[in-house]
Amino acid sequence: MPKVVAVIGASADRRKFGNRAVRAFQAKGYTVVPINPNEREIEGLKTYKSVLDVPGSIDMATVYVQPEIGLQVIADVAQKGIGEVWLNPGADDEAVIARARALHLKPIVACSIVGIGQNPYDF
């Protein structure tokens, strides 16, 4: 069964990394759940306002939001019980990392697209 990945800060703009991530994870066979409170659909996928709105479990979250939003959503990630959390460049603020650790998460501070063996500029 494919891993379920939540792309927090998924974007309908194909130039943004929040969109490139959706496509890169799809290309690797992941079940992708876009998270963006302002979009209904991204790349043909139903979009959720929060990870807490997603039915079922999520294996991994990859975060593409500004730090001030990251501070808000990281608590949702912890509450949902998502074990693997990637803080991508731009989302990897010290305060967000500290908050994640305080919530007993072990954030991976790196580009998740590269982490799955893809080049973000191929998408």
Q: Are 40 and 47 in contact (CB under 8 A)?
A: yes
Q: Are 25 and 5 in contact (CB under 8 A)?
A: yes
**Residue whose entry in the numeric block shows the structure tokens 């294996």:** 59
Q: Are 108 and 86 in contact (CB under 8 A)?
A: yes
Residue 2: predicted pLDDT: 87
Residue 15: predicted pLDDT: 97
pLDDT digits (tens, 9 = 90+) for 7-60: 999 999 999 999 999 999 999 999 999 999 999 999 999 999 999 999 999 999
Residue 1: predicted pLDDT: 79
Distances in Å between the Cα of 63 and the Cα atoms of 1, 17, 35, 36, 89 are 23, 10, 9, 11, 9
Among 31, 69, 25, residue whose Cα is nearest residue 49: 69
CB neighbours of 58 closer than 8 A, spacing ≥ 6? Answer: 4, 5, 6, 33, 51, 80, 82
Residue 41: predicted pLDDT: 98
pLDDT digits (tens, 9 = 90+) for 81-115: 999 999 999 999 999 999 999 999 999 999 999 99
- Domain borders along the chain are 4-122
Quick one: fold of 4-122? Rossmann fold (3.40.50)
Work out the angle between the directed axes of helices 67-80 and 94-102 (0-180°, nearest 10): 20
